[in-house]
Chains A and B, each alone.
Chain A
Amino acid sequence: QQQVRQSSQSLTVWEGETAILNCSYENSAFDYFPWYQQFPGEGPALLIAIRSVSDKKEDGRFTIFFNKREKNLSLHIKDSQPGDSATYFCAASASSGSWQLIFGSGTQLTVMP
């Protein structure tokens, strides 16, 4: 059973559009949700993160919308650029208990020029 689920394996958008990547989770104890961006052959880089006490987190062109009741969140990438083409991982962790960061399966984003 996947604890963190990313519904789309891949997503293609045109340059300038808003890309929306979705994520859902099972464990109600999860309270921290980072998104990572990974380019081929590189380690994942922390992009933006949100805590469960907030419903929105914005950083430049990147925004997380969080719905605790529905146990889902989404990453919006505004004004998408070809350089945003990468794999995006949603992850989750709980501040109580043994610390693990659980990753979703990733969404490969392609931004067409």
Chain B
Amino acid sequence: AQTIHQWPVAEIKAVGSPLSLGCTIKGKSSPNLYWYWQATGGTLQQLFYSITVGQVESVVQLNLSASRPKDDQFILSTEKLLLSHSGFYLCAVQANTEVFFGKGTRLTVV
């Protein structure tokens, strides 16, 4: 079974500062990977997906970007954080039709 490691667990960042969140997948080669965002008490919104190294598709524009530098790694970043970026960021991996989520990163922008 695959494992999903997200880092950091939580971040408190200032408006206008840069951000980088990471996700590493173990136990599955060439996985489809996803970034989701969840506002406090809200639903899950898919942000990006990637089916292979170097290829990332954006689902919704939130002034964020994503990259897949390695087969097992997915990075979410921005150069300038907004207050609206606060929330819970989840990395997910697809195994057949099933999607499994990591433990998430709690981001607070102040």
Contact = CB atoms under 8 A, between A and B. Distances in A.
Contacts of A41: 104, 106
Measured as residues with beta carbon below 8 angstroms from the partner, the interface class of chain B is: 20 to 34
Contacts of A95: 97
Measured as residues with beta carbon below 8 angstroms from the partner, the interface class of chain A is: 20 to 34
Interface of B: 32, 34, 42-46, 49, 57, 59, 90, 94, 97-104, 106
30 contacts: A34-B99, A36-B101, A41-B104, A41-B106, A42-B104, A43-B90, A43-B102, A43-B103, A44-B90, A44-B101, A45-B101, A46-B99, A49-B97, A89-B43, A89-B44, A93-B97, A99-B94, A100-B49, A100-B59, A101-B34, A101-B46, A101-B99, A102-B46, A103-B43, A103-B45, A104-B43, A105-B42, A105-B43, A106-B42, A106-B43
